[in-house]
Amino acid sequence: MTIKDKVVVITGASSGIGKVTAEVLAKAGAKIVIGARREDRLASIANEFQDRQVLYQVTDVTDHQSVKRLVDLAETKFGRVDVLYNNAGLMPISRLADLKIDEWDRMIDVNIKGVLYGIAAVLPIMIKQKEGHIITTDSVAGHIVHPGTAVYAGTKYAIQAIMDGLRQEQINNHIKTTMVSPGTVDTELYHTISDEKTQQRVAKDEKENGLLLMDIANAVAYAIDQPDKVAVNEILLRPRTQKN
């Protein structure tokens, strides 16, 4: 079984990478269940695929039960869950001395706990199935730290540890893990940056130099569309012109 007919759950799917990935996988014949906080956007995506099976549910990844309900919807409707794509994330970068503690807390809740809650929701199902695939959006920031990215990068470094621990623990249950680690991408993430000058700088760089959303969606599709014995554990991709 390749992408066609696989049951895929995607968080953070109302815009950006999650939205485009859902569209790519749906066009390839997957059965998609998408979650995010913005119901109008989720409904709009589902309506694009009335001839295919695309379901949605309002989901807050900082709430374990909310994530579990999303995964349960997929299992109830389709009888299994083949892929979970933990995509929800925030990037309110700032220097530590700015003491934006509320933003730190929010990043930890979404970028780390959100991933853990996704794993917790889907792992019992995949263990029972004796197969599955858990994918998480990481970042080049999970490999390299720059001034202003310490907390954001810290959340992404944490994902590296969590996902590799998961990989090692679940080898005998035939559960694959993949981290997709993009460099600069033209997404809406810059909207989460509260400092106006930093937001404008990042937005300009993303729009002028960033990867396209389709580039990341294609990387996710590539990881899914591999033979059973092949596990693509990480895809690290940057714009050709990005140095770090």
SS3 track for the chain:
CCCCCCEEEEECCCCHHHHHHHHHHHHCCCEEEEEECCHHHHHHHHHHCCCCCEEEEECCCCCHHHHHHHHHHHHHHHCCCCEEEECCCCCCCCCHHHCCHHHHHHHHHHHHHHHHHHHHHHHHHHHHHCCEEEEEECCHHHCCCCCCCHHHHHHHHHHHHHHHHHHHHCHHHCEEEEEEEECCECCCHHHHCCCHHHHHHHHHHHHHHCECHHHHHHHHHHHHCCCCCCCCCEEEECCCCCCC
Domain range for 27 is 7-181+213-227
87-112 burial code (b ≥16 CB/10 A, e <16) = bbbbbbbbeeeeebeebbeebbbbbb
- Is residue 76 a part of any domain in this protein? yes
How many angstroms separate the CA atoms of 124 and 219, rounded? Answer: 26
Digits of tens for pLDDT over the chain (244 positions)? Answer: 589 999 999 999 999 999 999 999 999 999 999 999 999 999 999 998 877 689 999 999 999 999 999 999 999 999 999 999 999 999 888 899 999 999 999 999 999 999 999 999 999 999 999 999 999 999 999 999 999 999 999 999 999 999 999 999 999 999 999 999 999 887 766 667 767 777 777 666 666 777 899 999 999 999 999 999 999 999 999 999 888 8
Q: What does DSSP say about strands 7-11 and 31-36: parallel, antiparallel, or unpaired?
A: parallel
- Could you tell me if 26 and 32 are in contact, meaning their C-beta atoms sit under 8 angstroms apart? yes
- Is residue 161 a part of any domain in this protein? yes
pLDDT at 36: 95
- Is residue 41 a part of any domain in this protein? yes
How many structural domains are present in the chain? 1
Q: What is the mean pLDDT of the chain?
A: 92
- Is residue 203 a part of any domain in this protein? no
Q: pTM for the whole thing?
A: 0.93
- Our answer to whether residue 190 is catalytic in this structure is no
What is the distance between the terminal CA atoms of the chain, rounded to a whole angstrom? Answer: 37
pLDDT at 166: 98
pLDDT at 190: 60
- Is residue 66 a part of any domain in this protein? yes
Considering the candidates 152, 157, 190, 222, report the single residue annotated as catalytic: 152
- Is residue 68 a part of any domain in this protein? yes
pLDDT at 124: 98
- Is residue 37 a part of any domain in this protein? yes
- Could you tell me if 89 and 152 are in contact, meaning their C-beta atoms sit under 8 angstroms apart? no
- The CATH number of residue 136's host domain is 3.40.50.720
- Is residue 61 a part of any domain in this protein? yes
pLDDT at 188: 66
